Amino acid sequence: MEDAAEGAETKKKGGGMVATIAGVAIVTLIGAGGGWFLGGMIAPKDPAAEKAAEEKKQEAAAAAAAAAHGGGKKEEGLPHISTPATGVVQLEPITTNLAYPSDNWVRLEVALAFKGAPEMPLAEQIHQDIMAYMRTVSLQQIEGPRGFQYLKDDIQERVDLRSQGKVSKVMFRTFVIE
């Protein structure tokens, strides 16, 4: 008698689990379908918007073709901060290996804020000086926030010596160690 009661109990448990899984699957499918339908209603495809986007792509392609053939250059977006008028010169990216371990590389982008009009030959000398300095730095010297601050201070000091006070600030744009 007990065996028959245990068998009936097992069938009830197994049947309840299958019904629960089936119910969850059906509710999930209904929810996904409803979301797709509501998404289509909220953000319908607008033929006018699609046409405007296509025209914009064509204009961009025409502008790129004109620029490639030496045509007029149309600037879009925000103006760059590094212009001679502002006295800020962004140096070319510096990519070099560290002194130790020599298989680690560093990429550094720096901008210089001049006190007066920027001097491009001086900026190039500073660029070469920073690159030479980075080749003497080890990974242990620049680890952590304190090491990075020491590096910034060292580069600022080298720039001050090289520029004889013509550069007011060195701005780090990117710093990556690989």
From residue 94, alpha-carbon distances to 21, 154, 176 in Å are 59, 16, 10
120-134 vs 144-163: helix crossing angle, rounded to 10: 140
**Confidence (pTM):** 0.54
Query: In sequence order, what are the residues at sequence separation of 6 or more whose Cβ sits closer than 8 angstroms to the Cβ of residue 8?
Result: none
Residues facing 175 on adjacent strands: 108
The secondary element (H helix, E strand) that includes residue 107 is strand 105-114
Which pLDDT belongs to residue 62? 66
CB neighbourhood size of 78 (10 A): 6
- Domain ranges, ordered by start, for the chain: 2-68, 88-177
Q: What is the pLDDT of residue 76?
A: 54
Residues 6+ apart with CB under 8 A from 140: 100, 147
Burial 12-32 (b: 16+ CB within 10 A, else e): eeeeeeeeeeeeeeeeeeeee
CATH-assigned architecture of domain 88-177? 2-Layer Sandwich (3.30)
pLDDT of the residue at 12: 55
Q: How far is Cα 131 from Cα 158, in angstroms, rounded to an integer?
A: 11
Residue 148's pLDDT is 93
pLDDT per residue of the chain (178 residues) written in tens, 0 to 9: 555 555 555 555 567 889 999 999 999 999 998 888 887 777 766 666 666 667 776 776 666 655 555 544 444 554 556 666 678 999 999 999 999 988 999 999 999 999 988 889 999 999 999 999 999 999 999 999 999 999 999 999 999 999 998 999 999 999 999 8
Residue 62: what are its φ and ψ, rounded to 5°?
-65, -40
Question: Distance (Å, rounded) from C-alpha 90 to C-alpha 147?
Answer: 23
Strand partners, 96: 106
pLDDT at 46: 63
Residues 86, 167, 77: CA angle, nearest 5 degrees: 30
